[in-house]
Amino acid sequence: MTQINLKENERLDELQRNGYSIIQDTKRFCFGMDAALLSGYAKAKPNETVIDLGTGTGIIPILMEAKTEAAHLTGLEIQPESADMARRSVAYNHLENKIDIVEGDIKDASSIFGASSFDVVTTNPPYMINDHGLKSDNEAKAIARGEVLCTLDDVLRESARLLKQNGRFYMVHRPFRLAEIMCKMVEYKLEPKTMKLVYPFVDKEPNMVLISAVKGGKSRITVEKPLIVYKEKGVYTDEIYEIYGY
């Protein structure tokens, strides 16, 4: 059993995939269902390279390593404490040869890694425009939830630059920003290809949207079958259990 020294407020959470676990800080932003759903939605083929923008504690690269045959995955994270937890989680799971964690700014991603460097980009970016939604007194949570350090435009611009021609882009976001998302994706030649709305219950409004795009692709989008999270209060649907690996 690998030994690990957890810092104050940290915990080790099992991921139900390949025996992997992840370090999280209970006082900072912990990953949610959106990250788990994105890791199941994104695809990576053998020999492909993947970068996750705003990786936080590395949840998406770690889960994608378990679920796909990607050759190598990289996580880019601006917050030093989160990047440190991500690196220690990678080491704990013995994935140092498969996953790199880089500390840096999304706005500088194409300068850090170079243009056309990756086959796949994934991102679970901040959802809220700076003057929208709940304010947080916790800086780490505020950065994760709101466009404090980067905007949707920054994320899409740098994703387009990082991707090889015909490379694939996967993102989870909120439906209330769909019009803006689609317009900016097309502006940066990330042609939307699939979209799946996520509903907490069958009779409620969707609260998440999963989107894929192809850099330089032709204009054609498929709206996929919706994903319902709960059969009833506290009971997931079969599709959610499958995504989580239960």
- The pLDDT tens digits for 170-210 are 999 999 999 999 999 999 999 999 999 999 999 999 999 99
Residues with Cβ within 8 Å of residue 42, at least 6 apart in sequence: 50, 60, 64, 68, 120, 122, 170, 212
Enter the tokens of residue 145.
Answer: 């939830």
Question: Is there a contact between 54 and 150 (Cβ–Cβ < 8 Å)?
Answer: yes
pLDDT per residue as tens digits for the range 103-161 = 999 999 999 999 999 999 999 998 766 544 444 455 544 434 444 468 999 999 999 99
Fold classification of 10-244 (topology level): Rossmann fold (3.40.50)
Domain extents for the chain? 10-244
Is the pLDDT at 211 greater than 80? The verdict is yes
Query: How far is C-alpha 82 from the geometric centre of its chain's CA atoms?
Result: 14
How distant, in Å, are the alpha carbons of 35, 101, 108, 176, 227 from that of 206?
16, 32, 32, 9, 9
Mean pLDDT of all residues in 38-64: 96
Q: In this structure, which amino acid lies at residue 52?
A: D
Pairing of strands 208-215, 163-173: antiparallel
How distant, in Å, are the alpha carbons of 32, 38, 54, 67, 202 from that of 107?
24, 21, 11, 28, 38
pLDDT per residue as tens digits for the range 66-117 = 999 999 999 999 999 999 999 999 999 999 999 999 999 999 999 999 999 9
Q: What per-residue confidence (pLDDT) applies to 246?
A: 58
